[in-house]
Chains A and B, each alone.
Chain A
Amino acid sequence: MTRPISKTVNVPVADGDGERYTLKMGPQHPATHGVLRVDLELDGETIIKCSPQVGYLHRGFDKIAENRTYAQSLILTDRLDYIAAMANNVGYCVAVEKLLGISVPLRAKYIRTIVCEMSRIASHLLWLATHALDIGAMTVFLYCFREREVMLDLFEELCGARLTFSYPRIGGVRQDVTRNFIDVLQRFVAEFPTHIGEYETLIDTNRIWLKRTVGIGVLSAAEALELGLTGACLRGSGVDYDIRKHRPYDAYDLVDFEVPLGSDGDIYARYRCRMEELHQSARIIQQCIDQLPPGPIISEDAPDLVMPLQGQRKVEAGSSTYGTGLIRLLEDKGEFPVGDIYVSTEVPKGELGFYFISDGSGRPYRMHVRSPSFIHISALPALAEGSMIADLIANIGTLDVVLGECDR
């Protein structure tokens, strides 16, 4: 017996001339990297109008954060860009530290820089894997996941989680790195350039890859800037804007690295930028390992948020309804400043900014997350309109969006 799925099947309806029709792509399309829906108006295979629809993952982080202490909101940031949660955690901590005026010990700064760059590697590898898969290069996917797995295993050793870490703390990090962690990471960093070479041999001069990427999705520097793009999308167009250099945080001003720039502003230029960034990340990690100083990993004036098992700090009784012993930020002591602050960090996707308004109460009066993916998706029409529908997939891939971060 045949089972009809639904009475109303969504067949593209042709209007008058039999050529133009609308097509709703997503939200369950594998190439939309999550729950992105794109409403397309097509003329044959050419996109006349492209209208991205987001919000399927909206959880209201801004509102939730207003009702929690600063320390409690850290776990929300894991759920922003879940591909590179470590970078979000660090971004959040850096912002709160600036707001509360907490200084971080040097060792913690280095550890954070290491994990940020590790998450950049993990994120760029996932981006490359899926971007290549979308365009039709299956093998790259398997190679990239091989190395990404090493990163995730290391994260697991460091903090017990593979995706939602909450490892950095306001004022430092939760646990110190182990000897084994450093050894494995050292070996990985030493051989990683060879692996990058492997991906490059697969696609760098591949004729299909070149045809799908060179001259597609071109943005001039002025256009990219006006659209508000950040990260590799902006640098692919030749604008030298990397927050790690412009407003250094953690140990980025203590290590030496370059900011790769493209010039053509097409998909291939952005691809090259990210591949170079992988090299630079490995370089940064190597320097951090070499320079890693001994010392404390969390600031003395940090709000308490340490597992009670470590016995470093006393647990305030009744501080949490959960058994993990999360200690309330010192809420009632009147130590909080009154003012507003915007702090952004360079996450793998671009500029992740946190805007806080503090009214002295111990909970943010207002928290706003400036997520790069949200702005990048808004730039999709500028890239896609007038191009072929097959290039839309490549254009979504090149923007490197994560919908958890876009929808917040």
Chain B
Amino acid sequence: MESMEIAEKLQDHFPGEVLEICDFHGQVGVIVKRDRIVDILRWLRDTPEIKMDHFMDLCGVDNKKRLGGNLLRFEVVYNLYSIPLRHSIRIRAQVPENDACIDTATGLWCGANWHERECYDLMGISFNGHPDMRRVLLPDDWVGYPLRKEYPLKGREEWSGLEELKHKVVELQEFGLSDGTLRTEAEQSQTKGNEKS
């Protein structure tokens, strides 16, 4: 089935949920509200003539600098594919800034688990009902969500685990394995500079 046909069927089936259908280079994206996202995904997976059984990809997008009437601050993009029927569709669920959360798809595909954790980790969108909503790529004590548009590309900040490390260095000193000092990156480059001069 053509992707556009699927999108239209989806619109017929969930008239209040579909906001817009976009077509770009033959790939069809359906912009939907977030409230019934699990119903939409279940319908796509279980309807025999659509049968989207392969959960290809999920990612979060920050729409802060993007134009579009139907776009809210965030969106979660689902790329689905049907292996037996060889067609695909993209679902773009809109998520508002003040309540950045959406229902989890892990009940439908357990493979969505880490996709959603990654989205939470890097974009800060949390998934209601997710079994293990923790950061996955960044350390647990990381502050902020790097893929949001306001997050800086560069910056210098002391890692919060550094204090613990300093204690370890003192501990190691007792065994003669360290001189008891821990230099930060800036201090190290300073020392190197001094050696050169």
**Footprint of B on A, CB under 8 Å?**
3-4, 6-7, 54-55, 58, 60, 62-64, 67, 98-99, 101, 225-229, 239-241, 246, 337, 339-342, 344, 351, 353, 355, 357, 359, 365-366, 368, 370, 374-375, 377-379, 382, 407-408
Asked if residues A67 and B111 are in contact (CB atoms below 8 Å), the reply is no
The segment from B48-56, B158-166, B182-190 found at the interface with A is B48-56
B65 within 8 A of A: yes
The segment from B12-20, B21-29, B94-102 found at the interface with A is B21-29
B143 within 8 A of A: no
- Interface size of B by Cβ–Cβ distance < 8 Å? 45
For residue A60, which residues in chain B have a CB less than 8 angstroms away from its CB? 146
Instruction: For the complex, give the distance between the alpha carbons of A6 and B135 in Å.
Output: 29
With contact pairs A225-B83, A342-B27, A355-B77 given, residues A365 and B137 touching in the complex (Cβ less than 8 Å): no
B139 in complex: contacting residue of A55, A225, A337, A342, CB < 8 Å: A55
Interface residues of B in 16-70 (CB under 8 A from A): 22, 24-25, 27, 29, 53-57, 59, 61-62, 65-66
Asked if residues A226 and B57 are in contact (CB atoms below 8 Å), the reply is no
Asked if residues A4 and B175 are in contact (CB atoms below 8 Å), the reply is yes
Say how far A75's CB is from chain B's closest CB, in angstroms: 17
Residue on B nearest A407 in the bound complex, by CB: B137
Asked if residues B54 and A55 are in contact (CB atoms below 8 Å), the reply is no
For residue B174, which residues in chain A have a CB less than 8 angstroms away from its CB? 7
For residue B113, which residues in chain A have a CB less than 8 angstroms away from its CB? 378
Asked if residues B57 and A370 are in contact (CB atoms below 8 Å), the reply is yes
For residue A337, which residues in chain B have a CB less than 8 angstroms away from its CB? 24-25
**Footprint of A on B, CB under 8 Å?**
22, 24-25, 27, 29, 53-57, 59, 61-62, 65-66, 77, 79, 83, 86, 88, 90, 109-115, 118, 122, 135-139, 146-147, 151, 153, 171-172, 174-177
Which of A6, A55, A225, A382 has the largest number of chain B CB atoms within 10 A?
Answer: A55
Residue on A nearest B119 in the bound complex, by CB: A368
Instruction: For the complex, give the distance between the alpha carbons of A7 and B62 in Å.
Output: 46
- The A interface, classified by DSSP as helix, strand, loop or mixed, is mixed
- Given A226-B110, A246-B86, A355-B79, 5 new contacts (CB under 8 A): A64-B153, A339-B24, A340-B27, A342-B57, A377-B114
Say how far B138's CB is from chain A's closest CB, in angstroms: 6
Residue on A nearest B55 in the bound complex, by CB: A228
For residue A340, which residues in chain B have a CB less than 8 angstroms away from its CB? 22, 24, 27, 29, 77, 90
Instruction: For the complex, give the distance between the alpha carbons of A164 and B191 in Å.
Output: 33
For residue A225, which residues in chain B have a CB less than 8 angstroms away from its CB? 53-54, 83
For residue A353, which residues in chain B have a CB less than 8 angstroms away from its CB? 56-57, 79
With contact pairs A62-B122, A227-B111, A375-B111 given, residues A54 and B136 touching in the complex (Cβ less than 8 Å): yes
For residue A4, which residues in chain B have a CB less than 8 angstroms away from its CB? 175
For residue A408, which residues in chain B have a CB less than 8 angstroms away from its CB? 137
Which of A7, A337, A366 has the largest number of chain B CB atoms within 10 A?
Answer: A366
A357 in complex: contacting residue of B53, B61, B153, B177, CB < 8 Å: B61
Instruction: For the complex, give the distance between the alpha carbons of A18 and B175 in Å.
Output: 32
Residue on B nearest A57 in the bound complex, by CB: B137
Residue on B nearest A59 in the bound complex, by CB: B137
Instruction: For the complex, give the distance between the alpha carbons of A55 and B141 in Å.
Output: 13
For residue A240, which residues in chain B have a CB less than 8 angstroms away from its CB? 83
B175 in complex: contacting residue of A3, A246, A366, A378, CB < 8 Å: A3
For residue B65, which residues in chain A have a CB less than 8 angstroms away from its CB? 359, 365
